[in-house]
A and B are shown apart, each in its own frame.
Chain A
Amino acid sequence: MGRTLAHDVVVIGGGVVGVTLARVLSRYHLDVVVLERDAEVGFGVSKANSGIIHSGIHGDPATVKGALEWPGNVGWLRLRDDLGFGFAQVGELLVALAEDELPTIETIEAQGRRKGVPGLTRWEPERIRRAQPNLSREVIAALWAPTAGVVNPYEAVLLIADNAVRNGVTIATEQPVIAIDPPDPADPGGPLVLRTPTRALAARYVVNAAGLYADEVARMAGVGTFTITGRKGEEYLLDKRLAGLVTSIIFPCPTATSKGTLVTPTFDGTIMVGPTAEATDDKDDTTTTPEGAAQVFAAAKRLVPAISERDVIAEFAGVRAVADTEDFVLGATARRGFINAAGIQSPGLTAAPAIADHLVEVLHDEGLALREKRDWRPRAEHPVRFAVLSTEEQAELAARDPRFAQLVCRCELITEAEIVDAIDRGARTLDGVKFRTRAGMGRCQGGFCTWRCLELLAERCGLPITAVTKRGGDSWIVCDRSDAAEAPDPTAEAPGTTASGIELAAAGVPADGG
């Protein structure tokens, strides 16, 4: 094949699937770029979900999504060991509220055993009440699956992305792919050319991990073989006061379209109830609704009667990307070099590490040579969490850098040094700072820290305050008194651009010589 100047792999979409793949690829001598539409990675459904790493028992192994659930669960343990994000294996209880649900439990248990999920046990009412005294008295039986876990999905995505970047991956944000050139008749085996509003990139392989929009991206590549519809899920977080109400994830028996409303002890110790599963025509519809809340609470109260709508402190919704096949759409396509990672509905978070491993095999089968780097660094450099340190450690940090003694968020005790670090790691928006550091997540919901975060973002990114946004796009926070705020011109010439406008890999990156 010889030397080529195209990027080896361009991943479209910086959700959990895209960044996990990028990180796995970063262990090889490859030039990898992730193109993300939003202002930051992980702002899609990967940040708006239940955060459950499923036990492995739920999916039918005859489907792709079912087959990747258990290996995905195992993959998360590895990721956790490498990167050390918040992950707790709290286990799950699949409960039956009536006799006619017992067969379902039996089926799922048998399925789990076939898949090799360890530790499955049937619990009698007495055992259930001892372990989870707040569960409804109506619960007559339960299946205990200790392998289920909870993560902070956003923290995980960020640490995975950080680590990929540390190992040489380029992540370009605010770069929606809007077109893919048709194959060049003169060079049918040549690279694919992707276009964003400001850039054009050549890639030997393209992985389509564009979430809800993966069908459109596949159409751009001329292989629109599937469509994706949205299935919205609303989630409700309850007051910290209720921490400990349940200590494992509580599943009702599933229905045909969903796993039902779950009661989840999140990694942060809050109780989350949800999600709903509602088809939506609008893929960006992340509204919460009174009907959704009513449905969630009615269902949640059947499992845990003490749960009440009055205890809601935050709510959000995410939209699952559901392919018309109702399964993951994973693998090579008729377009040479174009590979799908589409239709990643639930349990996509769980399956992500297994999806990434699978895609690497696909890429290899398609001709990508994988030469391991000797200096791959799988471990993450952790951001400091000042609030959880001992007084001595805090004092030591502050003596070294006074910005560790400069308060920014008073509810969660976040210092200026931590905000600056988050920005240096790629936070570009208020939400980006908030989800990385927790600044603004506390009781006062940003009343105290918003202005300071705005100032730091503006200063470090060289933007006017009026150009800083909540989460990119038109989500500005403040405007000028004169009302004459002009948006900065984002179309500055990108480096490494050829006369044809197509960006090439950075010179000196050795392509894998076949």
Chain B
Amino acid sequence: MVLTAEPRNLASRYDVVIVGAGPAGMAAALGARDRGAARVLLVDREVEAGGILLQCIHAGFGLHAFDEEITGPEYAQRFFEQVLEQDVDVLTDGYVMDVASGGRVKLMSPSVGVTGVDAGAVVLAMGARERTRGAIRIPGDRPSGVMTAGLAQKLVNLDGYLPGRRAVILGSGDIGLIMARRLVLEGVEVVGVFELLSHPSGLTRNVVQCLDDFDIPLHLSTTVVGIHGRDRLERVTVAPVDDDRVPIMAKAWDVDCDTLLLSIGLIPDAELARTVGAQMDPLTGGPVVSGTMETTVPGVFAAGNVVHVNDLADWVSMEARVAGDGAGALATGARRPEQDIRLLPGDNVAYVVPHTISSDRPHTVSFRVRRPIHGPTLLRLSDVHQRKVRAVVPAEMVTLKVAPRLLEGFHGDVLRVDAIPATDDRAGEDPS
């Protein structure tokens, strides 16, 4: 399977240019074509399209988009085939260096050199990057053998090498959990996964399938406080933390290992959004977007992990179709004006995307909770809509569908999103 295609000829002008060909970029391309954009260019800096999916060789994708469970590369393949069928120009091994607010896109690639194309609309779909050691300040030596879990995943799954022979994993994000299992399958000893918080930060299914099923210990409320090894990592010091997450050094212990994988979170890779002048949301780390996924810079849309870190590629694909649709509509002159009813994160809600919606069209509102609620939970959109779910955890993104009819009687300009324990009375029904 090779997900590359050289554009026959890079045109000098496109209706829509999409930066990044992960699930977000590919779905945005399809959305734009569906909306009638004739010339669409999809650019990715990797040699193949697919984004992070290419290194996710485990099953767990497609349950929503295709009603079956497939691997990341298979998921990417299905979208890529549609992209090619739809006559989208694809430039892989191409890096978008800059997007000027007028829609001029500067890019470089060995096949086209350093050049520019004009875009009627741009969709930013650059994905997310991993947080690194610098973000958490672990004192000690600076040996080789300390790397992010995602880099290790690439080294193992795409390049065919191992990051080491005896590994400790810091952080229980999904990538770390999945890598714990992968490494064991590759014959690497995984000593344990250490998590600062009192609950895992990855999906429950990954805790069960990747750790429990392989007898890999998960140490909650515990963190790495020292890194030792002059050339190669030799040992880490770990310590439990108190309620304020301060390490209790008196209870610290050493763990021999030659590899420390960091799975301590993703951050939207939103540099281009920032440089083009889009307003950023400090809660997500990504740009502020409207109901059509347009940033505050007219003509620049965004979708996927660059807006907020998603747990499922399926959600990314859905959201990105909306962005592609919006970009296509703008480029073809078919855009309808949007309202800006603001969505505010309320009780136990960490962030909400999109940041504004219109009452004249359907929206899917995504958000994450701050704290787990291990029982019936009410997801509430001010007093216009509510939905009851079995439980919520920060690891799992939650969505609310907002149909135009729900907003018929609403005349305000702010809606609040809460996620609160359901008291069994009036909150029985699930109106969605």
CB distance from B7 to the nearest CB of A (A): 15
**Is A407 interfacial (CB-CB < 8 Å)?**
yes
Using Cβ atoms and an 8 Å threshold, which residues of chain A touch B133?
A: 445
User: B163 to A394, Cβ gap below 8 A?
Assistant: no
**Residue of A at shortest CB range from B112?**
A405
Q: Chain A residues near B148: list those with CB within 8 A.
A: 445, 447
A313 near B162: Cβ-Cβ < 8 Å: no
Which of A313, A398, A407, A481 interacts with B113 by CB under 8 Å? A398
Complex: A475 Cα to B130 Cα, angstroms: 23
How many Å lie between the Cα of A314 and that of B108 in the bound state?
Answer: 30
User: CA A284 – CA B142 in complex, angstroms?
Assistant: 12
Any A CB within 8 A of the CB of B155: yes
Chain A nearest CB from B257 CB (Å) reads 14
- Is B59 in the interface zone, CB < 8 Å from A? no
Contact A313 B140 (CB under 8 A): no
Indicate if the CB atoms of B164 and A479 lie closer than 8 Å. yes
Chain A positions within 8 Å of B145 at CB level: 477
Q: Is the CB of B151 within 8 A of A450?
A: yes
A289 interface residue, CB < 8 Å from B?
yes
Residues of A within 8 A of B139 (CB): 287-290, 293, 315
> Which residues in chain A, 412-460, are within 8 Å of chain B measured between CB atoms?
413, 430, 443-448, 450-451
Q: Mark B129-144, 1 if CB is under 8 A from A, else 0.
A: 1101110010111111
Instruction: Tell me if A461 is interfacial: C-beta within 8 Å of chain B.
Output: no
State how many residues of chain A have any CB contact under 8 Å with chain B: 52
Q: Are B161 and A479 in contact, CB atoms less than 8 angstroms apart?
A: yes
Write the nearest CB–CB distance from B48 to chain A, whole angstroms.
14
Q: Among the listed A293, A404, A465, A470, which residue makes an inter-chain contact with B144, where contact means beta carbons less than 8 Å apart?
A: A470
Distance in Å: Cβ of A422 to nearest Cβ of chain B: 19
B187 and A483 within 8 A (CB)? yes
* In the bound complex, CA of A476 to CA of B228 (Å): 15
Write out, one digit per residue, whether chain A residues 470-512 have a CB within 8 A of any chain B CB (1) or not (0). Answer: 1111111111110100000000000000000000000000000
Are B114 and A398 in contact, CB atoms less than 8 angstroms apart? yes
Chain B nearest CB from A150 CB (Å) reads 22
Cβ of B45 < 8 Å from any Cβ of A? yes
User: In the complex, A475→B233 CA distance in Å?
Assistant: 8
Distance (whole angstroms) from the CB of A315 to the closest CB of chain B? 7
Task: Report A-chain residues with C-beta under 8 Å of the C-beta of B254.
Answer: none
A400 to chain B minimum Cβ distance, whole angstroms, is 9
Of A314, A397, A403, A466, which one neighbours B134 at CB under 8 angstroms?
Answer: A314
Contacting A at CB under 8 A, from B230-244, are 230-232
Q: Name the residue on A nearest B126 (C-beta).
A: A410
Establish whether residues A399 and B113, one from each chain, have CB atoms under 8 Å apart when the complex forms: yes
B160 CB within 8 Å of chain A: yes
- B109 in the interface (beta carbon within 8 A): yes
- Residues of the B chain whose Cβ atoms lie less than 8 Å from the Cβ of A227: none
| A288 and B226 alpha carbons, distance in the complex (Å) | 10
A258 at the B interface (CB under 8 A): no
User: For residue B137, which residues in chain A have a CB less than 8 angstroms away from its CB?
Assistant: 293, 309, 312, 315
A305-338 residues with Cβ-Cβ distance < 8 A to B are 309, 312-316
Interface SS of chain B: mixed
Fill in one digit per residue for B94-116: 1 if any A CB lies within 8 Å of its CB, else 0: 01010000000010111111111
Q: Are B141 and A394 in contact (CB under 8 A)?
A: no
B417 CB to nearest chain A CB (Å): 29
Q: What residues of chain B lie closer than 8 Å to A395, measured between beta carbons?
A: 113-115
For window 137-179 of B, CB contacts with A under 8 Å fall at 137, 139-145, 147-148, 150-151, 154-155, 159-165
In the assembled complex, the Cα of A312 lies from the Cα of B150 at a distance in Å of: 23
Interface size on B, residues (CB 8 A): 47
Interface residue? B186 (CB, 8 A)? yes
Q: Which residue of A290, A391, A410, A470 is within 8 Å of B45 (Cβ)?
A: A410
In the complex formed, the residue of B with least CB distance to A310 is B137
Closest B residue by C-beta to A466: B161
Known interface pairs A314-B134, A479-B162. Does A474 touch B154 (Cβ–Cβ under 8 Å)? no
Q: Which residues of B contact A198 (CB under 8 A)?
A: none
The answer to the question of A402 belonging to the interface, with a C-beta cut-off of 8 Å to chain B, is yes
Q: Known contacts being A406-B93, A483-B187, is A475 close to B143, with CB within 8 Å?
A: yes
Which one, A394, A413, A480, contacts B161 given CB within 8 A?
A: A480
In the assembled complex, the Cα of A287 lies from the Cα of B225 at a distance in Å of 13
B377-416: which have CB < 8 Å to A? none
Chain A's closest residue to B132 (CB) is A445
Q: Chain B CB within 10 Å — which of A397, A407, A473, A478 has the most?
A: A478
Do residues B108 and A394 form an inter-chain contact, with CB atoms below 8 A?
Answer: yes
Contact between A473 and B115, CB atoms less than 8 A apart: no
Contact partner, A405, options B108, B142, B228, Cβ 8 Å: B108
CB distance from B12 to the nearest CB of A (A): 14
Residue pair B106, A481 in contact (C-beta under 8 Å)? no
Check A284 against B230 for contact (C-beta < 8 Å): yes
Residues of B within 8 A of A407 (CB): 45, 95, 108
CB distance from A508 to the nearest CB of B (A): 39
Distance of A90 Cα from B134 Cα, bound (Å): 27
- Within 273-297 of A, Cβ neighbours of B (below 8 Å) are at 284, 286-290, 293
Interface residue from A287, A448, A472 paired with B141 (Cβ < 8 Å): A287
Give the distance in Å from the alpha carbon of A314 to the alpha carbon of B140 in the complex: 12
CA of A443 to CA of B274 in the docked complex: distance in angstroms? 14
Given A289-B139, A473-B231, do A480 and B113 touch, yes or no (CB 8 Å)? no
Q: List chain A residues, Cβ under 8 A from B129.
A: 443-444, 447-448
Contact check: which of B112, B144, B154 meets A451 at CB < 8 Å?
Answer: B154
CB distance from B10 to the nearest CB of A (A): 13
Evaluate contact between A479 and B143: CB separation under 8 angstroms. Answer: no
Given known A478-B163, A483-B187, contact A405–B110 (CB-CB < 8 A): yes
The one of B134, B144, B228 that contacts A477, using a Cβ cutoff of 8 Å: B144
Q: Are B147 and A450 in contact (CB under 8 A)?
A: yes
Contact call A476/B161, Cβ cutoff below 8 A = no
Q: Which of B137, B143, B144 counts the most chain A CB atoms within 10 A?
A: B144
**Distance A337 CA – B147 CA, assembled complex (angstroms):** 47
Q: Does A469 sit within 8 A of B, measured CB to CB?
A: yes
The reply to whether A398 and B165 contact each other, CB–CB distance below 8 Å, is no
Residues of chain A with a CB closer than 8 A to B271's CB: 443
Q: Is the CB of A288 within 8 A of B161?
A: no
| A residues in contact with B159, CB < 8 Å | 451, 478
Q: Are B140 and A288 in contact (CB under 8 A)?
A: yes
Tell me which residues across on chain B come within 8 A of A288, comparing CB atoms. 139-140
Q: How far is the CA of A451 from the CA of B159 in the complex (A)?
A: 8
A394 touching B114 in the complex, CB below 8 Å, given contacts A313-B134, A413-B97, A450-B151 = yes
How far is the CB of B293 from the nearest CB of chain A, in Å?
23
CB pair A474 B155 closer than 8 Å: no
Task: Assess whether B154 is in contact with A480, with CB atoms less than 8 Å apart.
Answer: no
Q: How far apart are the CA atoms of A293 and B226 in the complex, in Å?
A: 14
B45, B151, B228: the one contacting A446 at CB < 8 Å is: B151
A391/B144 in contact, CB under 8 A: no
Instruction: Contact check, B115 vs A471: say whether CB atoms are below 8 A apart.
Output: no
Cβ-defined contact, A465 with B113, below 8 A: no
**Chain A residues numbered 337-396 whose CB sits less than 8 Å from any CB in chain B:** 391, 394-395
Q: Which 4 A-B pairs have the closest CB atoms?
A: A470-B144, A478-B161, A474-B231, A475-B231
Which of B's residues lie within 8 Å of A, judged by CB?
A: 45, 93, 95, 97, 106, 108-116, 129-130, 132-134, 137, 139-145, 147-148, 150-151, 154-155, 159-165, 186-187, 228, 230-232, 271
29 contacts between A and B (CB under 8 A): A284-B230, A287-B140, A288-B140, A293-B137, A312-B134, A313-B134, A391-B114, A395-B115, A403-B110, A404-B114, A405-B109, A405-B112, A407-B95, A410-B45, A447-B132, A447-B147, A448-B129, A450-B147, A465-B161, A470-B231, A474-B231, A477-B144, A478-B155, A478-B159, A478-B161, A479-B164, A479-B165, A480-B161, A483-B187
Q: Which residues of A contact B (CB under 8 A)?
A: 284, 286-290, 293, 309, 312-316, 391, 394-395, 397-399, 402-407, 410, 413, 430, 443-448, 450-451, 465-466, 469-481, 483
Q: Using A287-B141, A406-B110, A451-B151 as known contacts, list a sample of 15 further A-B pairs with CB atoms less than 8 Å apart, ordered by residue number in A.
A: A289-B140, A290-B139, A313-B134, A394-B114, A413-B97, A445-B133, A447-B132, A448-B129, A451-B159, A466-B161, A470-B144, A473-B231, A477-B144, A478-B161, A479-B164
